[in-house]
Every structure is written in C-alpha cells, then in structure tokens.
Amino acid sequence: MKKTAVGLLALSLFGCAQQPSLKDQSQPTVSTTSQPTAKPLVFASMVTAAEMQAAAKAQTIAAEKKAHRVKKQALAVTEVTTDKITASTASKKLTTVNHKASSKTKDGMLVLGHHEWVLMLPGSKHVSAYVDPKSSTSRVGVKNLVEFERNGDNWVKFVFQGKEYKYPVEAWSKADNNARLPIVLLRTKLGDRNDEVEYQLIDGGNGVVLGENFMRDIAIQNSQRKYVQPKAK
C-alpha cells in the first residue's frame, strides 16, 4: 500500500509539471512575421567641386542666351513700330541728319529734298527753290519781262530780286495759253554745283522750280527731306 501511494503522488507531481502556469497563459503570443523589415540605407555618390562649377556655368550660359533672345525680340518689335511713322515725322527725323554724311549718294550724286536753297545770277540772297523732277524744264518767276533785239538776236530783260537783268534767249516754249515763254541760261549754285541752267521765265510769277533738266545725271530726290544741301557761297 505504501508503494502504491508513493507512485500515485509521483504521477500527480509529473502532471502538474506539464501544465503551463497561469502567468504564462496570460501573455499573448507575438508573431515574429509582423515585424517591419528594415531596408539598408543607400547613400548618393558625392558631387565633386568640378561638377558643381560646370553646372553653375551651364546655368549662367542658359540665362545669358535667354536674355539675348528677349532683347532681340524687343528690337524686332521696335523696328516694326518705326516703320509706321508718318511722312511728316520721317521728314523731321531725316532733316536732322548730318549733311556731310547724307548729302550725296555712294556714287557721288547730290541728294535733294523737296526744297533747296539756291543762289541765282550774281545775287547774294539765297532763294528757296521747289524741286520737281516731274517737270521737264526749270522755271523762275520774274517781274517786268520785256523782249527786245540786240544785233539781230532775241533778248529779254526782267527784274529778279529787285535787280534788272538782260539775257539772250536760248529757245522759246509755249505756256498752256499758247503764249511764248523765253528760255534763258542762268548761273545757279546749289551745294557744290555751280553752272548755267536753262530756265523758263514766267512773267509775274514768284519762286523758283528746279526741274528734270537740272537734276539729270547729277542729282536724285528724297521727297521726305528738305534743304539737304548746305547753302552755297
């Protein structure tokens, strides 16, 4: 009996040893799979000083190109706008140009505006002459025009700028009313030109017109300008 009781006690103690304690049962089991996976850190390669300088230089060049492009576009807009200026504005701008730089073309021809100062005859007073390349003959208004003969030739006398002059008639022309108009050679100075020019005398007229016969082969006209040539002496 004593041996049997000892055996039962031993089995009871062994069973107790196999049961988990209450403390162990109260704590939850943590799964190791729920832990986040830590990734290794990746470091970018170090940028060298030379690469930084190259990048800065590239940015500077790009900025300069952009500024140049903007400036070029602004100039293009200005050029288009100036093409729309009026003729009167253009005349004012052109008349301020230096005479020495613009009074002649590259091939040496005189540049004349729509008006030019001329010296005629032995006079010392400049006359404002109208330049008309569409008129074949130059004209001058005179006072007291009288025809007469001298040694069998036709002459005329007239008053111009308060003085009386006498000249032989080179030819005759007709006015619109079929009246005869004498043509004479008169000394004319304009710019660096100083020679005799054929003029149609208009009795009672006023002013001087320089026609195609004056401009032929020696001058061209820019109608947007005036008094391009300096006053002759």
CATH classification of the domain holding 145: 2.40.70.10
Distances (CA, A) of 15 to 1, 6, 10, 24, 166: 22, 15, 9, 17, 164
Question: Residue 40 above 90 pLDDT?
Answer: no
Grade residue 101 by pLDDT with cuts at 50, 70 and 90: very low
Contacts of 127 (CB under 8 A, 6+ apart): 117, 118, 119, 120, 161, 207, 208
Per the CB < 8 A criterion, the answer to whether 175 and 119 are in contact is no
Burial class (CB in 10 A: 0-12, 13-18, 19+), 28: exposed
Indicate whether 121 belongs to any domain. Answer: yes
Which range among 24-33, 54-63, 72-81, 91-100 has the greatest average pLDDT? 54-63
Q: How many CB atoms lie within 10 A of CB 90?
A: 14
Mean pLDDT of 10-34: 48
Instruction: Give domain status of residue 151, yes or no.
Output: yes
Domain assignment present for residue 202? The answer is yes
Please state the φ and ψ torsions of residue 132, each to the nearest 5 degrees.
-135, 90
Q: Is 66 inside a domain boundary?
A: no
Binned at pLDDT 50, 70 and 90, residue 175 comes out as confident
Once rounded to an integer, what is the mean pLDDT over residues 30-53?
Answer: 57
HSE, side-chain direction, 13 A CA sphere, residue 233:
0
Provide the 3-class DSSP secondary structure of residue 159.
strand
Average pLDDT over residues 52-68: 76
On whether residue 75 sits in a domain, the answer given is no
Q: Is 94 helix (H, G, I), strand (E, B) or coil?
A: helix
Structural domain that includes position 186: 110-221
Q: What is the pLDDT of residue 72?
A: 54
CA angle 68, 72, 74 (to 5 degrees): 120
- Domain-located, residue 86: no
In a domain, 41, yes or no: no
Asked if residue 62 is part of any domain, the answer here is: no
Looking at the structure of the chain, the number of domains it has is 1
Which of residues 100 and 145 earns the better pLDDT score? 145
- Mean pLDDT for all residues in the chain: 75
